[in-house]
Amino acid sequence: MIPSNPDLSGRLALVTGASRGIGYQLCLQLAKAGAEIIAVARTVGGLEELDDAITELGGKCTLVPLDLKDHDGIDRLGGVIAERWGRLDIMVANAGILGAVSPVGQMKSKTFDELMSVNLTSVWRLIRTTEPLLRQSDAGRAILLSSSVAHTARAFWGPYAASKAAVEVLGRTWAAESEKTALRVNLVNPGGTRTHMRAQAMPGENPDSLPTAEQTAAKIIGLASPDLQETGKLWDVPTQSWKDYQLPA
């Protein structure tokens, strides 16, 4: 299991993909638990709505309208956090896109490049720029959003699945490199959740059959707890269990 109802008072959390869906709800719930939020996405309207909701809770939020394809912008954000706060306690790499559900050999190269830029390269740039800040925290926590398809070879989902499989390997490698520090790095499979991305991926599905983003986020925020011990693992939301990787070290 992971800690429930974590006390995150005074902790600083950076969340990407904060304008809607799982990321928006993660921000709200991290703020409810006491964390100050740095919220990243492109859609200013969604970010402003989040800011209002967090302010209403009595929390604090800094909005960062940023396209994660602007990789140098990610580094600039790291610089601003270093200057203003000098540390980061929680980093959630949640933003993601589906690209296109299409045969591997038929995806347009622009679509493939954009998918990798958002789902993979931006996560690596976030890792690179936040690692020194997370190491300044007494209990740095990194949470990287993956998907169950990272472990499959489902027809028509190749590039999206490959981007998530690569994120998992990056995250596990980072965890191995940080094992002797206070930093804990984990992956998450949120499971099917009622969001914009899911509706795009499964247009024929009844959204009412799926958990809401609020319900999914509630099953993830324990990974931000300073009490969490695990690192380099995959937290599987649908089964509420850790999936150990069985590969040789």
Please list the active-site residues.
160
Q: Which of 94, 129, 130, 231 binds ligand NAP (CB under 6 A)?
A: 94
| Residue 35 vs 50, nearer CB to ligand NAP | 50
| Residue 129 vs 147, nearer CB to ligand NAP | 147
By three-state DSSP, how is residue 222 classified? helix
By three-state DSSP, how is residue 29 classified? helix
Query: What whole-number distance in Å separates Cα of residue 198 and Cα of residue 148?
Result: 13
Q: Which of 100, 116, 182, 197 binds ligand NAP (CB under 6 A)?
A: 197
List strand residue ranges (DSSP E) for 17-148, in order: 36-41, 61-65, 90-93, 141-145
Which amino acid does the sequence have at 93? Answer: A
Looking at 11-19, 55-63, 135-143, 220-228, which segment touches ligand NAP (CB under 6 A)?
Answer: 11-19
Least separation in angstroms between CB 83 and ligand NAP:
22
Number of amino acids touching ligand NAP (CB under 6 A):
30
Least separation in angstroms between CB 216 and ligand NAP:
8
Contact 190, 91 (CB under 8 A): no
Q: Which of 29, 147, 178, 225 binds ligand NAP (CB under 6 A)?
A: 147
HSE, side-chain direction, 13 A CA sphere, residue 66 = 26
Residue 105's Cβ-count burial label (10 Å; 0-12, 13-18, 19+) is exposed
151 binds ligand NAP (CB under 6 A): no
20 binds ligand NAP (CB under 6 A): yes
Which amino acid does the sequence have at 200? Answer: Q
46 binds ligand NAP (CB under 6 A): yes
Q: Which of 208, 244, 198 is nearest to 20 (CA)?
A: 198
Which amino acid does the sequence have at 118? Answer: V
Least separation in angstroms between CB 213 and ligand NAP:
6
| Residue 110 vs 180, nearer CB to ligand NAP | 110
Question: Residue 141's beta-bridge partner residues?
Answer: 90, 184
| Residue 4 vs 43, nearer CB to ligand NAP | 43
Where do contacts with ligand NAP occur on this chain (CB under 6 A)?
A: 16-23, 41-43, 46, 67-69, 94-97, 118, 145, 147, 190, 192-193, 195-198, 213
